[in-house]
A and B are shown apart, each in its own frame.
Chain A
Amino acid sequence: MSDVETIAIACRGLRKQYGPVVAVDGLDLTVRRGECFGLLGPNGAGKTTTIEILEGLTRPDAGSVEILAKNWNGNGNELRQRIGISLQETRLNDKLTVYETLRLFRSFYRDGKEPDALLDTLALLDKRDARIARLSGGQRQRLAVACALIGNPEILFLDEPTTGLDPQSRLQLWEEIRQFRGNGGSILLTTHYMDEAERLCDRIAIVDHGRLIALGSPAELIASLRAANIIEFQSDPMLPEATLRMLPEVHDVLTRGPNWALTVESLVTAVPRLLLACEEEGSRLVHLSTHRATLEDVFVALTGRELRDA
């Protein structure tokens, strides 16, 4: 198959600077058709700038963008008919009802869904005639996604779609995104929730300071740690890093807040060794926990910082 048929979004050498701040620093990305692609990174990593450049809303200082094998110059109208967008913070018109808003957005597209049918699939039908001012955060976000879906897009761009939502609303929204992908749509979403990226995305680009620092499927990224589990512990006095690195099975030693975080292959062999080491050093164990490695650990391993406070 040619690129035209397989590539939804491609950008090369993307760069954008705001005053002295380099928001995007030479980014290359390729999103295949039919995949859900996540841009994962802490706040301020340049995710929103990147997605808005790809959406044709912001002009890059340098680099090229191709959406559905077309660039934004001169193809804006056609591309807008074929993509759906949900911005990070849009306040739709509070005075209009859910149905009126969706109907308005529907009118901008040549083809599209019937507003009522879409409201039904998004479980918003009972709010059809409610003013937007009266909707909950989750309902507003679902309506924002509805506005992105109303024109039957081939690509869906979602900027932080679940930020600030309660768990139930998040699950609901994830389900809708999966459905869209199940029907052959391509998705580019940004998030700073690693669980969202892990559960929803086929592939993930981890970005930090406007640069790509890792790319792959969630499984591949986690496998890059070369160990499936993390042991976090604190002891008094703290064991020296050199001692920990000497332990068999330990692939990496990182600090995480006041704790040490050890990346290990097998808990069954690593934990008894650690307890033994504490005993030998005369150190008292204050805290110990283990978990299976996640994208969060990948981020920490790559940057030395945690995603949520980076």
Chain B
Amino acid sequence: MPERYSPLWELTVARTKEFVRQPEALFWVFGFPLLLALALGFAFRERSPERVPVGIAEGAEARRIAAILETSPALQPRIHSEQTAAEALRHGTISLFIRPLEGGVMYVYDPTRPDARSARMEVDDLLQRAAGRGDPLQRREEHVTERGSRYIDFLIPGLLGLNLMGTGMWGVGFSIVTARTQKLLKRLVATPMRKSDYLLSQILSRLVFLVLEVIALVGFGWLVFDVAVRGSLLLLGIVCLLGAMTFSGLGILVASRAETIEAVSGIMNLVMMPMWLLSGVFFSADRFPDWTQPFIRALPLTALNDALRAVMNDGLPITTMTMELAILTIWALASFGAALLIFRWK
């Protein structure tokens, strides 16, 4: 019984093997985003209500005041010399400097710094009460710390989107342009191979890594930073799939005529750079002026990031993100179709 061969399957397998056998490519797909998440996650990690360092001028009163301030969980009092106080304030090693006066106290601080202002209020409150002030109103407090509202919660979906864009475009674009410069494309069109099979295989093989890539990044966020997926995992999968296909399509389009690696790198950066900045990877796209919003919303990475955050952070259902999914679908179809038309095989 002769073996049956499916060209689309064989092309996809070949492309997948080619990719796996390039260790550097694996690093850029898996290693780099994890390192980026780790670095940014630690840099911006939630400071559990941090104690604000305050300095107390050396002298007879210093120890007594320090003892009072020690009772607050928000303050970290230390006795500080007058001479270096100004410098310490400037460098932020202390946020507030306290100078006991005859029958009172002086606060030295920069009022534009929020931590200094809150330290001043806290210190003043404690010292006034210790000096005998009464509080006529009864107080009750309820503390709300919600998961999914930290910076790292915002960042992980953005990095996931960024990664889907980067690996989709670089992975597909480089492979195609390399094949073109080596005249492999020309050799392939000298066979009865269907051209659409070749281009589809590029997208399909991307999907193989997509699964691993998403699991790696989401799993990493969950294990290291406790970033949860609040919505449905299935929906997350669908959004990632659509995003990956969109950017593979865009990668094919970008690579459709370029004849050198340098040329395709240039176009690739030209296409991706605006999305790095505008599409809300590291900070919300809402911060840009209102008149830019329609353009920014129409970018595929903005749509992908918004949809990813809606699933991961807000746990919203698919019905709330039809606009984003529609934008991604349009980009995917338009870029694949355009690529098929203008693609240079020789």
**A-to-B contact residues, CB < 8 Å:** 55, 57, 77, 80-81, 85, 87, 89-93, 95-96, 100-101, 103-110, 114, 131, 147, 151
Contacts and interface: CB of A to CB of B under 8 A. Distances in A.
Given A104-B10, A107-B6, A107-B7, A95 B17 contact: yes
B184 A108 contact: no
A93 B14 contact: yes
Contacts of B11: 104, 107
Given A90-B182, A105-B191, 15 more contacts: A57-B346, A80-B191, A87-B190, A92-B184, A93-B184, A95-B18, A96-B17, A100-B17, A101-B14, A103-B5, A103-B10, A104-B11, A107-B9, A107-B10, A151-B192
A109 B191 contact: yes
A103 B187 CA distance: 15
Contacts of A91: 182-184
Closest 8 CB pairs of A and B: A107-B5, A91-B182, A107-B10, A80-B192, A95-B21, A108-B191, A90-B187, A85-B190
Nearest to B15: A93
A81 B189 contact: no
A90 B183 CA distance: 5
Interface of B: 2-3, 5-7, 9-11, 13-14, 17-18, 21-22, 179, 182-184, 186-187, 189-193, 346
Contacts of A89: 183
Contacts of A80: 190-192
Contact of B14 (A81, A96, A114): A96
A92 B7 CA distance: 17
B14 A87 contact: no
B184 A57 contact: no
Contacts of A114: 2-3
Given A104-B14, A107-B5, A107-B7, A55 B190 contact: yes
A249 to B, nearest CB: 51
A90 to B, nearest CB: 4
Contact of B184 (A90, A106, A151): A90
A305 B13 CA distance: 51
A108 B18 contact: no
B192 A87 contact: no
B6 A87 contact: no
Contact of B5 (A92, A93, A106, A131): A106
A114 B3 CA distance: 8
Nearest to B14: A104
B22 A95 contact: yes
A95 B13 CA distance: 12
A103 B186 CA distance: 18
A97 to B, nearest CB: 9
Contact of A81 (B3, B10, B192): B192
A108 B186 contact: no
B186 A87 contact: yes
Contacts of B179: 93
Contacts of B346: 57
A95 B179 CA distance: 12
Contacts of B18: 93, 95-96
Nearest to A112: B5
B326 to A, nearest CB: 36
Q: Which has the most chain A C-beta neighbours within 10 Å: B22, B187, B346? A: B187
Contacts of A93: 14, 18, 179, 184
Contacts of B13: 100
17 contacts: A57-B186, A57-B346, A90-B183, A93-B179, A93-B184, A96-B17, A100-B14, A103-B5, A104-B11, A106-B5, A107-B5, A107-B9, A108-B7, A108-B192, A109-B191, A109-B192, A151-B191
Contacts of A100: 13-14, 17
Contacts of A77: 192
A105 B10 CA distance: 9
A93 B190 CA distance: 16
Contacts of B192: 77, 80-81, 108-110, 151
Contacts of B189: 57
Q: Which has the most chain A C-beta neighbours within 10 Å: B3, B5, B7, B11? A: B5
Contacts of A103: 5, 10
A147 B198 CA distance: 17
B167 to A, nearest CB: 17
A39 to B, nearest CB: 17
B191 A92 contact: no
A57 B22 contact: no
Contacts of B3: 114
A147 B188 CA distance: 10
Contacts of B6: 107
